[in-house]
A = this chain, B = another copy of it.
Amino acid sequence: MTATYDVVAIGNAIVDVIARADDAFIAENNLAKGSMQLLFTTEEAEALYDRMGPGIETSGGSAANTLAGLAALGLTCGFIGQVADDQLGRVFTHDMTAQGVAFTTAPRPGDPPTARCLIVVTPDGQRTMNTFLGASQFLPAAALDGQLIADAAILYLEGYLWDPEEPRAAMRQAIATARGAGRRVAFTLSDVFCIERHRADFLRLIADGEIDILFANENELLSLEQADGFEAAIASLSARVPLLVVTRGEHGAVAIKGGERAEVAAEPVDQVVDTTGAGDLFAAGFLAGQAQGRTLRDSLTMGAICAAEVIAHVGPRPQADIKALVAARLD
Contact = CB atoms under 8 A, between A and B. Distances in A.
B59 A58 contact: no
A57 B58 contact: yes
A125 to B, nearest CB: 13
A212 interface: no
Contact of A56 (B49, B52, B58): B58
Contacts of A49: 94
Interface stretch (A83-91, A223-231, A260-268, A294-302): A83-91
A317 B99 contact: no
B98 A20 contact: no
A113 interface: yes
Interface string A35-54: 00000000000000110111
A11 interface: no
A81 interface: no
List the number of copies, as a whole number.
2
A102 to B, nearest CB: 15
A166 interface: no
A59 B54 contact: yes
Contacts of A115: none
Given A86-B87, A87-B86, A319-B20, A56 B53 contact: no
Interface residues of A, number: 29
A99 B317 CA distance: 26
A99 B53 contact: yes
Given A86-B87, A87-B86, A319-B314, A57 B54 contact: no
Interface in A81-111: 86-88, 91, 94-96, 98-99
A87 to B, nearest CB: 4
A266 B53 CA distance: 29
A78 interface: no
Nearest to A113: B87
B54 A98 contact: yes
Contact of A98 (B53, B86, B113, B315): B53
Interface string A222-266: 000000000000000000000000000000000000000000000
30 contacts: A17-B91, A19-B98, A50-B94, A52-B94, A52-B98, A53-B98, A53-B99, A54-B59, A54-B96, A54-B98, A54-B99, A54-B317, A55-B91, A55-B94, A55-B95, A55-B98, A56-B56, A56-B57, A56-B58, A56-B315, A57-B57, A57-B91, A86-B86, A86-B87, A87-B87, A87-B88, A87-B113, A313-B313, A313-B314, A314-B314
Given A56-B315, A87-B113, 11 more contacts: A17-B91, A49-B94, A54-B59, A54-B317, A55-B91, A55-B98, A56-B57, A57-B57, A57-B91, A313-B314, A314-B314
Interface of A: 17, 19-20, 49-50, 52-59, 68, 86-88, 91, 94-96, 98-99, 113, 313-315, 317, 319
